Amino acid sequence: MNKKFNGIGASSGVSIAKVFELIEQKINISNDKISDTKKEIEKFKASIDDAIKQIEVIKERALKNLGAEEAAVFDAHMQVASDPAMSKEIQDMITNEKCNALHATSVITGNYASMFESMDDEYMKERAADIKDVAKRIINSLAGVKSTDVSMINEEVIIVAYDLTPSDTAQLDKKFVKGFVTDIGGRTSHAAIMARSLEIPAVLGLNDITKHVNSGDKIAINGDTGEVIVNPSDNEIVNFENSARELEESKKLDAKFKGKKSVTSDNHQIEIAANIGSPKDVEGAKENDAEAVGLFRSEFLYMDAKDWPTEEEQYKSYSEALKGMGNKKVVVRTLDIGGDKILNYFKFPDEMNPFLGYRAIRLSLDKKDIFQTQLRALLRASVHGKLAIMFPMIATVDEFLNAKKEYDKAKEDLKKEGIEFANDIEVGMMVEVPAAAVIAKQLAKHADFMSIGTNDLMQYTMASDRMNEKVSYLYQPLNPSILTLINMTIEGAHSEGKWVGMCGEMAGDKNAIPLLVGMGLDEFSMSATSILSARRQISNLNYEEVKKLASEAIKLSTQDEVKKLLEKFNK
Ligand code: PEP
Ligand code: MG
C-alpha cells in the first residue's frame, strides 16, 4: 500500500531505493542474581574494553570519511565508556546487590541517560544519545550479540530505523546507502550533521515510519522537503525522479564554477573560503575549490587529545594544513575553548554562565604558557605556507593588544633561539561580541583583518543561548539588528583599509549572501560543500543592485520584513 509521510528534511537530496530495516535485536535482561560477583565484574570490565576498541575503530573511520569536527562525537563516547563514576556505580550494584552485569549496566546507564534527557538544554539532551549509544555497545558485548554492521551493506538501499546512532551514521557507505529515515531526531542531531557532511539525503522525526515499512518495500525520500512515500506510484516516482534530476542539474551547474573566480555579474570580486576542523579537512576544501581556509578551528586539536597538545604536535598539524593549501591563505583561530567546548584533561571553573565566562581569548590570556605553546607552534609552521592568525571572542581593544603582545613575545623568543618564521603573517580577530562590532573602527586600527563569527554574535546580540531550543526563535540572521552590527563591522574595518570576512553559519546562507555581498563583505568562509553553489549564486548578483538591497534591508524593522524584501528581489 502507498503511504505518505512528512518529517524533518535533515540532509539535502532525493532518493528512491529499497528499504533496509535496521532492527535492533531484542536482548532479554533479567534481574537474576549471581553468586560470583568478582567474575561478573571481570565480565563487565571486558565489555567496557570491547566497547572502547569498537569506538576507536569507528572514530578512525569517521576521521577519514567525515573529518575532525564530526569525529569529535566519538571522543564524547570514549569519555562515557571510560567514565569512572558510572563504572563504579555499576560495579557497586553488582557487588552490593549481587546483580548480574547486564541488569546493572542497563539500570545505571538508563539513570544517567534519563538525567541528561530531562535537562532543558539541547546540548545536554544530545549527551543522553551518546550514553545510550555506548550503553548499547556494552550491553551487546555482555550479551554476546553482534549488532547489524551497516558498513557491510552492499546494495542500494534507504535505511529505515527508529534512530540512527552517530556510530551507525559514521559507517555508512554512500555508494550503497542512498538515504535514511528515522522515527526520531531533528536537524541538529549528530546523525543529521553527519549526513550533511557525507551528502546522504535524510528525513528524520517521522514518528512511526518503522511501523509502516517492510524490508524490500520501495521508498522515496526528499531530504529538502521532508517528504517520504512508501511504495510510491509510477506517477510519484516520476515526480521524485524529476526533483532528483533538478538537484543533480543544479550540482552540475555548481561544478562548472570550479576554478573560476568568485565575482558578481559586474565584476565585483570576493573570496570564498572553507571552514575546517583539522588538516584532514583540507582535502574537502580543495575538492570544492576553496580559495582559502577562512577558519581553522584549532580547538579540535585540543579536544581530540588526552592532554594539552605539545608544541611539536601542533606544529605538525598546522604545517600539514599549510602545506596542503599550497600558497592559499590559512586562517588559524587560536584556542576557542570553554562554553560548550570542554576538555577531558582540564577542569573548567563552575560558572553560572559558561558562554559569558572563562572561554576563548580570556582563557588564553590567563593561561599564558598554553597560549605561548600555540603561538610558537603557529609561527614555526608559518614557513610552510601562507598563515594568518586570529583571536576569538575579542571584546575590547586591550584584549586584542594583550593577545598581540603575547604574539610578539613568541616571535622574540623564536628569534633569540634562531628559529625561522614567516614575516608576512596577518594577525586579526573575530567579531563575535557586539561590543567589538560597535568599535570595529578602533579595533581595526590594530588588527590586520576581522572575521565575523555570526554564531556567537547572534547569541550575544539576542541574549539567546545557541544551544537552547526554547529560545532558538531568536536565531534571526536577517534581523536588522544583526545586519546593522555586520554593516558597522565592515564599514569600520574598511575605513581603516582592512579586509573583513565571515566564518559563522550565516556566510553560507543563501538568503543572507546577497545582503552580505551588498554590504561589501570581502571573504565568505563556509562548509566546503557550500562553496560552489555560493559562487554560482554570487555570479548572478549585480553589485550595484545588492548594495541598494542591503541599505534598504538595514532600515527595516523585522526579520520578516527583510525576508519579504528578499522574496521581491529574487522574483
Ligand atoms: C562563530 O561564533 O560564528 C564561529 C565561527 O565560531 P564557533 O561557531 O566555533 O563558536
Ligand atoms: Mg564562536
To test the pocket of ligand 1, the residue of 303, 432, 454, 457 to mutate (highest count of ligand atoms within 8 Å of its CB) is: 432
- Domain spans in the chain, listed from the N-terminal domain onward: 3-22+149-231, 37-143, 257-570
User: Which residue in the list 77, 190, 268, 384 is annotated as catalytic?
Assistant: 190
Residue 189 has a pLDDT of 67
CATH architecture of 257-570: Alpha-Beta Barrel (3.20)
Residue 1 has a pLDDT of 64
Which protein residue has the closest C-alpha to ligand 1 atom 3?
Answer: 453
In short, whether 338's Cβ falls inside 6 Å of ligand 1 is no
Decide: 81 and 48 in contact? Cβ < 8 Å.
Answer: yes
In short, whether 508's Cβ falls inside 6 Å of ligand 1 is no
What strands lie across the sheet with 202-204, from one edge to the other? 3-6, 227-230, 218-222, 14-21, 157-161, 177-182, 202-204, 8-11
pLDDT in tens, the chain (571 residues): 668 999 888 888 999 999 999 887 778 888 889 999 999 999 999 999 988 988 888 888 778 777 777 788 888 888 899 989 999 999 999 999 999 999 999 999 998 888 888 776 666 777 888 888 899 889 988 988 877 778 888 899 999 998 887 778 878 888 999 999 999 877 656 677 778 878 899 999 898 999 999 888 999 999 988 999 999 999 999 999 999 999 889 989 999 999 999 999 999 999 999 998 889 889 889 999 999 999 999 998 898 788 999 999 999 999 999 999 999 999 999 999 988 788 889 989 999 999 999 999 999 999 999 999 999 999 999 999 999 999 999 999 999 999 999 999 999 999 999 999 999 999 999 999 999 999 999 999 999 999 999 989 999 999 988 766 678 788 899 999 999 999 999 999 999 999 999 999 899 889 999 999 999 999 999 988 889 999 999 999 999 999 999 999 999 999 999 999 999 999 8
Q: How far is 488 from 481, CA to CA, in rounded Å?
A: 11
Q: How far is 506 from 432, CA to CA, in rounded Å?
A: 13
Q: How far is 87 from 96, CA to CA, in rounded Å?
A: 14
**H or E stretch at 8:** strand 8-11
In short, whether 504's Cβ falls inside 6 Å of ligand 1 is yes
Q: How far is 468 from 454, CA to CA, in rounded Å?
A: 16
Please compute, for residue 35, the number of CA atoms within 13 A of its CA located in the half-sphere on the CB side: 0
Residue 523 Cα to ligand 1 middle (Å): 15
The CATH number corresponding to 37-143 among 1.10.10.10, 3.40.50.1110, 3.40.190.10, 1.10.274.10 equals 1.10.274.10
Ligand 1 atom with least separation from CA of 505: 3
| Closest ligand, as measured to the CA of 525 | 1
Residues with CB under 5 A from ligand 2 (ion): 432, 453, 456
CATH code for 3-22+149-231? 3.50.30.10
Whole-prediction pTM: 0.71
Instruction: Name the 3-class secondary structure at 368.
Output: helix
Please compute, for residue 529, the number of CA atoms within 13 A of its CA located in the half-sphere on the CB side: 13
Phi/psi at 389 (5° precision): -120, 140
Residue 454 Cα to ligand 2 middle (Å): 7
**Pairing between strand 218-222 and 14-21?**
antiparallel
In short, whether 455's Cβ falls inside 6 Å of ligand 1 is yes
Instruction: Name the 3-class secondary structure at 34.
Output: coil
Annotate 414-461 with DSSP letters as a single string.
Answer: HHHTT----S--EEEEEE-SHHHHHTHHHHHTT-SEEEE-HHHHHHHH
Which protein residue has the closest C-alpha to ligand 1 atom 6?
Answer: 453
**How distant, in Å, are the alpha carbons of 123, 124, 178 from that of 167?**
18, 18, 18
In short, whether 503's Cβ falls inside 6 Å of ligand 1 is yes
To test the pocket of ligand 1, the residue of 301, 334, 430 to mutate (highest count of ligand atoms within 8 Å of its CB) is: 430
In short, whether 185's Cβ falls inside 6 Å of ligand 1 is no
In short, whether 163's Cβ falls inside 6 Å of ligand 1 is no
Cell of 371: 597560549
Residue 456 Cα to ligand 1 middle (Å): 6
Decide: 27 and 139 in contact? Cβ < 8 Å.
Answer: yes
Residue 453 Cα to ligand 2 middle (Å): 5
Residue 392 Cα to ligand 2 middle (Å): 7
**How distant, in Å, are the alpha carbons of 274, 275, 388, 389, 509 from that of 290?**
6, 9, 16, 18, 17
190 is catalytic: yes
Same CATH topology for 37-143 and 257-570?
Answer: no
Residue 123 has a pLDDT of 67
